[in-house]
Amino acid sequence: MNTIPQSLRYSSLLLLFKYPCRNSINNQISLAHFGLFSSSSSSSSRRNFSQKSTMSIRYDFKDKVVLVTGSSSGIGEGIAIHLSSLGANITITGRNVERLKRVGERCRQSSLSSSSSAKVLEIIGDVSKEEDAARLLNKTIETFGKLDVLVNNAGAYQIASIWDDNYMQNYDMMFHINVRSVVHLTKLAIPYLAKTHGNIVNVSSVSAQKPAANNTLYAMSKAAIDMFTKSMALELGPKHIRCNAINPAAIRTPIFNKVKNSDLNTDRMAEAAALSYPVGRIGEPLDCANAVAYLASDAASFINGVCLLVDGGSVNSALIMPEGDSKK
């Protein structure tokens, strides 16, 4: 066992508990990138939360064309709005007409407020359907003439136990949406990305690295995305196409309301999730958007094949040990 990296990880976590970042929490979080949170530490040993805004670092996406799937809500919405504010021309897509219109308007407002004059293309569709994926890409090229960045964000989440009668149906659904649709759209986009020396950012999950009971199918599908990301980095690198991923943990999005869990109400789940994070809060869509903006920008031109954790240290949180009562 290599003790140096382990000791460094442990030390960093202790420092976070000693000098924590603080933030407020509310009653909406996403379990889609949740994994398993620890309940071993009592609430009395944790710190109170005070408000602290998520910082936004600016990169220049002027004249860039970005396609963001699953962008009618949640993480995809946050990515689209943020990249619009950085000057990118954005194609957003989703299945809900009203929500997509709302996100499109927010992208335009974000663009105007930053004086970037970026354009927004809204396309209703389901990327898990091959004909919709092809139409999405063709319409983007027809409108903007090129593609610089593909953000594969669309995905599905389903709690599933191996004991469930419909387990294999859930398996097929999860892998069709979370894996096959990503591979298919990526394959369609490659010729256009090769022309612009563009890049791909996949939205994976901390679940790919941190297993949890009844989360096997989702975790497996996201682990597949991690390996797809790394493999594409090797295959597409010689064509000057980079491929990276972000791996979010719990993110404050409306998807929590779709998760059926009668044991915990929304407030209790949000509190439990935040308390299990070394930085003292769950994530915001802007945390993911900042990570995507960096990986997709020229500032990350030497970053390829990386699966970047956006998790507040939650993957390593099991390493935290109680401080004890010894005098210092």
Give the CATH number, domain containing residue 166: 3.40.50.720
230-275 pLDDT per residue, tens:
999 999 999 999 999 999 998 988 775 555 454 555 566 667 777 8
198-221 pLDDT per residue, tens:
999 999 999 999 989 999 999 999
The per-residue pLDDT for 309 is 98
3-class DSSP state for residue 121? Answer: strand
Q: Is residue 223 part of a domain?
A: yes
The per-residue pLDDT for 254 is 75
103-119 pLDDT per residue, tens:
999 999 999 988 878 89
pLDDT at 26 over 70: no
More confident of the two residues 168 and 42:
168
Q: Is residue 226 part of a domain?
A: yes
Q: Which of 192, 218, 277, 294 is catalytic?
A: 218
CA-angle at 12, arms to 276 and 253, nearest 5°: 35
pTM of the prediction?
0.81
- Please tell me which of 21-25, 131-135, 256-260 the model is most confident about, judged by mean pLDDT: 131-135
3-class DSSP state for residue 328? Answer: coil
The per-residue pLDDT for 92 is 99
The per-residue pLDDT for 317 is 73
Question: Mean pLDDT across the stretch 305-318?
Answer: 90
pLDDT at 132 over 70: yes
The per-residue pLDDT for 57 is 62
Mean pLDDT of the chain: 83
Q: Is residue 3 part of a domain?
A: no
Residues 6 or more apart from 294 whose CB is under 8 A from it?
Answer: 57, 59, 300
The per-residue pLDDT for 9 is 54
Is the CB of residue 56 less than 8 Å from the CB of residue 79? no
Q: At what angle do helices 74-85 and 97-113 cross, to 10 degrees?
A: 30
More confident of the two residues 243 and 283:
243
Q: Is residue 97 part of a domain?
A: yes
Q: Is residue 221 part of a domain?
A: yes
* Domain carrying residue 149: 60-313
How many domains does the chain fold into? 1
Q: At what angle do helices 181-196 and 130-144 cross, to 10 degrees?
A: 20
> Residue 19 catalytic?
no
The per-residue pLDDT for 258 is 56
pLDDT at 225 over 90: yes
Is the CB of residue 128 less than 8 Å from the CB of residue 176? yes
Q: Is residue 11 part of a domain?
A: no
Q: Is residue 33 part of a domain?
A: no
pLDDT band for 293, please (50, 70, 90 cuts): very high
pLDDT at 297 over 60: yes
Q: Is residue 180 part of a domain?
A: yes
